[in-house]
Amino acid sequence: MNLPSQLWFKWQRLKTALREAFGSREQSYETVHRMCPHCRGLIERNASICPLCGGAVKAPASRAGTGAPGRVLGGLIPVPSTATSALVAAIIALYGISWYLTQEAAAPGAAVSLGGIDGRVLIRLGAKFGPLMFAGEWWRLVTAIFLHAGLLHIGMNLWCLFDLGPTVESLFSTTKFIVIYLVTGILGFVLSLFWSPFGISIGASGAILGLIGALIGASFHHGSLGKDLRSQLWRWVIYIGVFGLFFSADNAAHLGGLISGLTLGYFVPEGEPTTRASENFWSALAIIAVVIIAGSFALMALQLNRPIG
């Protein structure tokens, strides 16, 4: 049976998400075809003119390698796409700065830290900390997403981000991915703030649960195939929850990210924006999100010389 091109494209895209969720090494459909933004017909991924309607088509977002999506560690995790790569780079850079400042703050003659970050350094660099936030430093809702307390913490979160980021970015589009990541990360820390206003909290796990929630929310639109993906994702949520109980993670931030991600995943349309107006809308939201992130780090930098002690 021949399906309409738009429905068939969605079917293939969801299969791609399922393959990535289950660790399949099969060739990704999206590296071969994509949808024309004008007539919604299927065209070759690198085409500049749609052969069906004659409309000009923008160059697709760059992907690692050609043909099949690149994978690292023997195929365990996929090479991230552009927006995911930027997030990973920012997280690693902040961790490096955190580690350096931890050594700087250490007492003379103290042993060099093997990866743990001083809590005072985390506060200085923008951790979620109620007393300072209620005093006006609301930018910490953003900067806290990029900070991590140690090698295990950042390692687990980067592994999840490497695996989930390209899937969500492919399913929704880069602009929507940026918005979903920031909004769920912020709302996770909002719930954390009211759950534990005097606790220090940092990490990307709230936003990562938001990405899982977005995939779960989207799966409700895909019948039995979505149900299969949903059961896999709920297992992931359970694993993270159990991990959080044993390692004193911020489960309130996890819950806030998951709930907000579920909501956005259910209501935000999948795929690239289909009209010029929706394309402009999501592009504007993504730009605003990037400005918020950059502005938050600028405000953090203005108080960076505050004494740690």
pLDDT tens for each residue of 16-26: 555 555 444 33
In this predicted structure, the answer to whether residue 301 has a pLDDT above a threshold of 90 is yes
Instruction: Find the angle CA(192)-CA(197)-CA(200) to the nearest 5 degrees.
Output: 75
| pLDDT value, residue 63 | 41
How far the first Cα of the chain sits from its last, in Å, is 69
| 87-44-70 Cα angle (round to 5) | 40
Q: How many CB atoms lie within 10 A of CB 47?
A: 14
Beta bridge partners of 62: none
Domain residue spans of the chain? 1-67, 81-302
The average pLDDT across 34-45 equals 62
Spacing of C-alpha 296 from chain mean position: 18
- Angle in degrees, CA 144, 150, 153, rounded to 5: 70
* Angstrom distances, CA of residue 165 to CA of 169, 176, 226: 6, 12, 18
Choose between 68 and 196: higher pLDDT: 196
Q: State the CB neighbour count (10 A cutoff) for residue 172.
A: 25
The pLDDT of residue 58 is: 66
| One-letter amino acid of 2 | N
The angle formed by the CA atoms of residues 1, 22 and 176, to the nearest 5 degrees, is 80
Q: Determine the pLDDT at residue 288.
A: 98
Topology of domain 81-302 in CATH is Rhomboid-like fold (1.20.1540)
- The model's pTM is 0.75
pLDDT in tens, 242-273: 877 777 789 999 999 999 999 999 999 998 99
Write phi, then psi, for 128 (nearest 5 degrees): -70, 120
Q: What pLDDT, on the 0 to 100 scale, is given for residue 28?
A: 38
- Identify the CA nearest to 8 among candidates 31, 41, 44: 41
- pLDDT, residue 31, reads 42
State how far the Cα of 175 lies from the Cα of 284, in Å rounded to an integer: 9
Q: What is the pLDDT of residue 258?
A: 96
Q: Rounded mean pLDDT of the chain?
A: 81
Catalytically active residues, by annotation: 205, 254
Task: Name the nearest CA neighbour of 141 among 303, 301, 305, 300.
Answer: 300
